[in-house]
Amino acid sequence: MNFLRTHRTIATVIAFVLVYVVTKALYLTGILNTYYIQLIILVGINIVMTVSLGMVNGFTGQFSIGHAGFMAVGAYTSAMITTVWLHASTANPWVGYPIFIVAVLAGGLLAAGAGYLVGAPSLRLKGDYLAIVTLSANELIHAVLNATEAVGGPRGLGGIPKFTTLEVVFVFAIVSVVLMRNYLFSSHGRSMKAVRDSEIAAESTGINTTKQKVFVFVFSAFFAGVSGGVFAHLLQFIDPSSFTFVKSLEYLIYLYVGGATSISGAMVGAAIFTLLPELLRSLQSWRMVIYPLILILTMIFRTEGVMGLKEFSFILIPQRKRKEVSA
């Protein structure tokens, strides 16, 4: 439609393909070993988790603190489908991958359903209710998983086929971020920000704020659920302790340090904090001591996070020129 728009989209696509080709080449030549590839895949998953959390916390101004609970719902649902019920395997990818895709989407939908159950009663109300409900829901999901023998209880669920490859996570992360970015740069996305800036003014301009908040919360839970599915099929083993409240807190740290009011910020936060421990491996046991300190210092000295309101240019939607604007 518009030269600039097409042009920039193509440039962005080329950039991502290049990143993929380089990563793959480094892997094939043995410069990056499997461990590093796994780490890069985790970056992709964590980006989707953090960006989806940012939709609720950063752009809609709510305070959801149990995102890992939805991840757990997606992880367990998809793993049960591929592993326990359908015995999918990577041996025959033509059968395996369709099952995998259906399974992660089913996980996403179930997580979205859980999101609705949690969000609908609490988002009706103003105030801090959502925080305490999501925290409780996260702990409850954890407790239920621990107590359910059918999903392995505290021993967890193993033998999950490894469907999540570098290619899968590339496609997954890019599609997810593009979808959420698109939503944010739409009339609906503007209403999200309106809810955040002044709920009462948003209502007064005709926005059904409750509906808007619940919808964002539900699709955020959906993406968390799908991320959980992709995560389960990377590690091939999940247990309830992978999805505790502490895990949710990690995503909150990624988000707020990176910048909650920016998709780019969420991505930067997720990427840095996923890679950082590898650079400081000697400090492994100190990780969750240092991270919260970084969070507290960010809040005190740079409340809006590293990126603030800024976005990388590939995130933004190119704007058309307006007709004869005179200042």
Partner 1 sequence: MAILDVQHLTQFFGGLRAVSDFNIQMEHGEIVGLIGPNGAGKTTVFNVITGVYTPTKGTIVFDGQNIVGRKTYQITQAGIARTFQTIRLFSKSSVIDNIKIAYHFRMTYGNTDAFLHTRKYWQGEQFVDDYAIDLLRLFHLEGHADDISGSLPYGAQRRLEIARALATKPKLLILDEPAAGMNPAEADQLMETIHWLRDKFDLTILLIEHQMRVVMGVCERIKVMDFGETICEGVPEYIRNDPRVCEAYLGKGA
Partner 2 sequence: MGQFLQQLINGIQIGSIYALIALGYTMVYGIVRLINFAHADIFMFGAYMGFFLAPVMTKIFGGAFIPTIIAAMLITGLLGFVMEKLAYRPLRYKSRLSALITALGVSIFLENFCALPFVFGPAYRAFPDLIVAGNLPISASLGLTIPYVLLLDVGVSVFLMVLLFWFVNKTLIGKQMRAVAFDKPTASLMGINIDVVISTAFIVGPALAGAGGILYGTTYGMLGSPFLGIWPGLKAFIAAVLGGIGNIPGAVLGAYVMGISEAFATSVNSNLGYGIAFVILIGILLIRPSGLLGKFMPEKV
* Chain positions contacting partner 1, by CB under 8 A: 1, 179, 182-183, 186-191, 193-194, 196-198, 200-209, 215, 261, 309, 317, 320, 322-323, 325-327
In angstroms, rounded to a whole number, what is the distance separating the alpha carbons of residues 86 and 160? 11
The torsion angles phi and psi of 212, rounded to 5 degrees, stand at -65, -45
Report helix, strand or coil for 153: helix
Residues 103 to 122 in contact with partner 2, rule: CB under 8 A: 121-122
Smallest gap from residue 143 Cβ to partner 2 (A): 4
Among 143, 175, 179, 283, binds partner 2 (CB under 8 A): 143
- Contact at 8 Å (CB) between 234 and 38? yes
* Beta carbon of residue 225, minimum distance to partner 1 (angstroms, whole number): 16
Contact segment (CB under 8 A) with partner 2 among 79-87, 163-171, 265-273, 297-305 equals 297-305
Give the interface size with partner 2 as a residue count (CB under 8 A).
40
**In the complex, minimum distance from the CB of residue 226 to partner 1, in angstroms, rounded to a whole number:** 14
**C-alpha count within 13 angstroms, C-beta hemisphere, residue 33:** 1
Greatest C-alpha distance within the chain: 69
3-state secondary structure 292-304: HHHHHHHHHHCCC
By CB under 8 A, tell whether 63 contacts partner 2. Answer: yes
Site string for partner 2, 221-250 (x = CB under 8 A): ------------------------xx--x-
Is residue 293 a contact point for partner 2 (CB under 8 A)?
yes
Binds 249, which of partner 2, partner 1, none (CB < 5 to 8 A, cut-off by type)? partner 2
CB count in 10 Å sphere of residue 92: 9
Comparing C-alpha atoms, which of 273, 276, 253, 267 is closest to residue 311?
267
* Torsion angles phi and psi, residue 157, rounded to 5: -125, 120
Q: What is the DSSP letter of 309?
A: T
Using the minimum distance from each CB to partner 1, give the nearer residue, 246 or 309: 309
Q: Which partner, partner 1, partner 2, none, binds residue 1 by CB below 5 to 8 Å per kind?
A: partner 1
Shortest distance in whole angstroms from residue 292 CB to partner 1: 26
What distance in Å separates the CA atoms of residue 63 and residue 169, rounded to the nearest whole number? 27
Q: With DSSP H G I counted as helix, E B as strand and the rest as coil, what are the percentages for the chain, rounded to 5?
A: 75, 0, 25
246 binds, among partner 1, partner 2, none (CB under 5 to 8 A by kind): partner 2
Neighbours of 141 (CB within 10 A): 24
Q: Find which of partner 2, partner 1, none residue 29 binds, CB within 5 to 8 Å per kind.
A: none
Is residue 296 part of the contact set for partner 2 (CB under 8 A)? yes
* Residue 326 interaction partner, one of partner 1, partner 2, none, beta carbon < 5-8 Å per kind: partner 1
Residue 270 and residue 169 in contact, taking contact as beta carbons nearer than 8 Å: no
> Per this entry, what is the length of the chain?
327
CB of 179 to partner 2, least distance (A): 26
Q: Are 59 and 311 a contacting pair, CB within 8 Å?
A: no
Which one of partner 1, partner 2, none interacts with residue 182, CB within 5 to 8 A by kind? partner 1
Contact call for residues 254 and 266 (beta carbons, < 8 A): yes
Query: Minimum distance from CB of 89 to partner 1 (Å)?
Result: 32
In this structure, what token pair is assigned to residue 32?
């990056």
Binding footprint of partner 2 on the chain (CB under 8 A): 61, 63, 65, 121-122, 124-126, 128-129, 131-133, 135-137, 139-140, 143-144, 147, 200, 245-246, 249, 252-253, 256, 285-286, 288-289, 291-293, 295-296, 299-300, 303
